[in-house]
Amino acid sequence: MEKEAKIFVAGHRGMVGSAIVRALEKEGYHNLIKRTSKELDLRNQSQVADFFAEEQPEYVFLAAAKVGGIVANNTYRADFLYENLMIQTNVIHQAYVQKVKKLLFLGSSCIYPKLAPQPLQEDYLLTGTLEPTNEPYAIAKIAGIKMCEAYRSQYGCNFISAMPTNLYGINDNYHPQNSHVLPALIRRFHEAKIAGLSEVSIWGTGSPLREFLYADDLGEACVFLMQNYDEEQFINVGVGEDISIRDLAYLVREIVGYDGDVHFDTRKPDGTPRKLMDINKLHTLGWRHKILLREGIALAYEDFQKKEYH
């Protein structure tokens, strides 16, 4: 990827897109195309077609998506399926039409079957039933992977896909209902500390195991893959180790500085028991994450406090 290449980062204001922009700028890429959702509705076929025809990007990072945690995924099932399908279908197709040199599609670890063997290897895709609460989102992301594969096999497009594990970091979503577990914990413990509450209640038993990757590490991995990976099969991006929700909660509590109790509401669902990514493929290529969980949560909490969430 040439330093002066025209690069479109779809979703540049989100957590993942902004991390990709920071990684690109750090490496000296300056010819970046950015559009807010108000300027360009990626769900709108004609708008996307006009944009690609006019701008003629050479490289595309497709980080735009409708995302959320268990509650959001389960509540807005139609929205998650429709909007993600529309965004990726429009962008991937126009990348083909306008002869984009290379496209990177970003998925999610939720594409894997609920009870797939651990750690999750790329070959486990479509070998079992999905987790019901986020099935619509997972199906949309699987369709995106398959689109990249199909356009590659039929048209020879260099479209690749990366599947990151659970993410957190700068520009995360801290919405009380629609956020993922780690940002939700940061917000909950922070608000409990400010309000002087004696207890914070957390969904489930605390036993599920989750893996967490700092968003800026993912941003650097995406740039690395754009430069070094050209295979048909998608590739996992993660850290290769996980932590229980219980231990995560106590770690966040400590970093935020909340000294009350933690209550696990066992009447609420746990979600998938474990989601650890097998990242041997990525390690073999020569990329590893740099930011450890404690440091990353501290950076995320610092970012949270700068925002107007509280």
> Which residues are the active-site residues?
137
Residue 236 is assigned to a ligand binding site: no
Phi/psi of residue 156, nearest 5 degrees: 75, 20
Residue 287 is assigned to a ligand binding site: no
Residue 169 is assigned to a ligand binding site: no
Residue 278 is assigned to a ligand binding site: no
Residue 26 is assigned to a ligand binding site: no
CB 9 within 8 Å of CB 32: yes
Residue 289 is assigned to a ligand binding site: no
Find, among 221, 230, 178, 297, the residue nearest to 16 by Cα.
Answer: 221
Residue 117 is assigned to a ligand binding site: no
Residue 217 is assigned to a ligand binding site: no
Residue 106 is assigned to a ligand binding site: yes
Residue 141 is assigned to a ligand binding site: yes
Residue 164 is assigned to a ligand binding site: yes
Question: CA 64 to CA 115: how far, in whole Å?
Answer: 28
Residue 240 is assigned to a ligand binding site: no
Residue 180 is assigned to a ligand binding site: yes
Residue 103 is assigned to a ligand binding site: no
Residue 46 is assigned to a ligand binding site: no
Concatenated DSSP letters for the chain?
--TT--EEEETTTSHHHHHHHHHHHHTT---EE---TTT--TT-HHHHHHHHHHH--SEEEE-------HHHHHHSHHHHHHHHHHHHHHHHHHHHHTT-SEEEEE--GGGS-TT--SSB-GGGTTSSPPPGGGHHHHHHHHHHHHHHHHHHHHH---EEEEEE-EEE-TT----TTTS-HHHHHHHHHHHHHHHT-SEEEEES-S--EE-EEEHHHHHHHHHHHHHH---SS-EEES-S--EEHHHHHHHHHHHHT--SEEEEETTS----SEE-B--HHHHHHT------HHHHHHHHHHHHHHTTT-
Residue 104 is assigned to a ligand binding site: no
Binding-site residues: 11-17, 106-109, 141, 164-167, 180, 188, 203, 210, 270
Binding site, annotated residues for NADP(+): 11-17, 106-109, 141, 164-167, 180
> Residues at the annotated binding site for substrate?
188, 203, 210, 270
